[in-house]
Structure 1
Amino acid sequence: MAAAAPPPPPAPVPEPSMTLVDTDSRNHPLFSRIRLATPADVPHIHKLIHQMAVFEKLTHLFSATESSLAATLFNSPPFTSFTVLLLEVSPSPFAPLHSPASSPSPYSPVDRIVYLDLPLDDPDRETFASDETHDVTVAGFVLFFPNYSTFLAKPGFYIEDIFVRECYRRKGFGRMLLSAVAKQAVKMGYGRVEWIVLDWNVNAIKFYEEMGAKVLSEWRICRLTGDALGAYGNANI
């Protein structure tokens, strides 16, 4: 009787492919730019302030209108009074901003590329479109103005508002806006930049502390506004 045929040799195990799957987040670049706001940006500034009031649960104090903003924000040269820097984003590189040769811009835009793992979904993209031709969207802003430190005997900047729309948070844009103000302060020889933060906004407090800011918990804001302001303004001294 013939011997049984030996079992066939096991099929060779295929070697793992050495080709890496492309998981590079650089497949989704988001171009960002900080530029000086102009009166034409007032409608977007107004909407940003309203979104900020909603986030801070302070809509009952919100009474600004586009007209009142336009009448008060752009009456002085930038950095000498109220100044607004806008944060814009685009899926494509920005077209250069052009200023008349006779009136060059006092602020050079700051550009940065953020690389995302996935495309970003902005539900208010059309509402905040600032340049539909080039697909540019307003994502945030910072409003600041000069103040003065008698202890330092130097001027500084006070940030009244800094805000990044919700879908653009935690991507470094808040740091980008703060850095823009700080760099301008250094450029002008100013002594400090300061702002306030709501005590319940622990995420913002942590973010500011990580940036090196000192949160002064022992200070309190004193404010006269509305009827109280009117009463003192009309009082006989």
Structure 2
Amino acid sequence: MAGAAALPPAPGPTPTTTLPENHPIGHPLFTRIRLATKSDIPHIHKLIHNLAAFERLGHHCSATESSLSSTLFPNNPNPSPPFHSFTVFLLELSPTSTPFLSPHPTSSLFPPISKSFNFDPPISDPESHLFKSSETDSIVAGFVLFFPNYSTFLAKPGFYIEDLFVRECYRSKGFGKMLVAAVAAQAAKMGYGRVEWVVLDWNVKAIKFYEEMGAQIMKDWKICRLSGHALQAYYANAA
């Protein structure tokens, strides 16, 4: 499942830490993008299934917490460092900055990206109790999962975004753009050549959003996929 489509159709308000004079003070919302850890698997699992439902592909989603844990965070004595295998950025939100004042255990591997916003009226999150972070007193609002690929034409590695998802009540606020920008910035920092993802052709809002971000929609390319019985048949024939 490649789900880089479920995000807002247009950029949200400009992040700010200070407000201009006479600007009406709204309700602050502090955000942080950080590396996910194994303890985040329950939230990642719920987000993936929400994404599958959004894409009308829930019947194809068989991921479990156990299968995600064993593949994203395997018990390996020499695990791959972040960005050299499957990597997940998690988006956390809080009405106060307190949860984000202390460094996260993964901060040495990836300094978290923090921004503040002001919204009026405040965002209502009816599922906040289901997405409360296990590590901080904050709410998980979205994620992006990506991994390295390679371009022979550029002779450079890049990143492929497999899943990008922002929960419904937080869409059209600029948070999807933050997640894509975090991956793009990391790719540029590492000297990578490009970042790629796919979008469902019916999701015209997401297509417009990506184009506004500067992404080129590759209309001449189609995804080819071997999976399930078709994939297993090759193993059976080779045996």
Q: TM-score, normalised by structure 2?
A: 0.85
Q: Letter of the 1:27 partner, please give it.
A: G
Matches within 5 A, 1:73-152: 73-75=72-74, 76-93=80-97, 94-99=100-105, 105-131=108-134, 134=137, 136-152=138-154
What displacement does 1:133 show?
6.5
Aligned-pair Cα RMSD in Å: 1.7
Q: Indicate conservation of the 8 Å contact 1:35/1:110, yes or no.
A: yes
Q: Residue 47 of structure 1 aligns with which residue?
A: 46
Deviation at 1:105, TM superposition (A): 2.4
> In the alignment, which residue of structure 2 is the partner of 1:12?
none
Q: 1:96 to 1:207 in 2, by over 3 A?
A: same
1:54-89 deviations in Å (ceiling 9; x for gaps): 100001101000000000002432101000000000
CA offset digits 1:91-139 (Å, max 9, x no partner): 000232243xxx86210000011110111110100000005863x0000
* Unaligned ranges ≥5, structure 1: 1-21
Identity %: 64
* Secondary structure of 1:126's aligned partner: helix
Aligned equivalent of 1:211 = 213
1:185 match: 187
Number of aligned positions between the proteins: 211
Contact 1:144–1:160 (Cα < 8 Å) also in 2:
yes
* Contact 1:29-1:91 within 8 A present in 2 as well: yes
Give the aligned partner of residue 163 of structure 1.
165
Q: Which runs of no fewer than 5 residues in structure 2 stay unpaired?
A: 1-21, 75-79
Q: How far does residue 217 in structure 1 lie from its aligned partner after superposition? A: 1.1
CA contact 1:131–1:137 (8 Å) conserved in 2: no
- Deviations along 1:4-27, whole A, 9 cap, x unmatched? xxxxxxxxxxxxxxxxxx871x32
Instruction: Give the structure-1-normalised TM-score.
Output: 0.85
Q: Give the 5 Å matches for 1:15-26.
A: 24=24, 26=25
Q: Secondary structure at the residue paired with 2:47?
A: helix
**1:35 aligned to 2:37?**
no
* 8 Å contact from structure 1 (residues 129, 137) kept in 2: yes
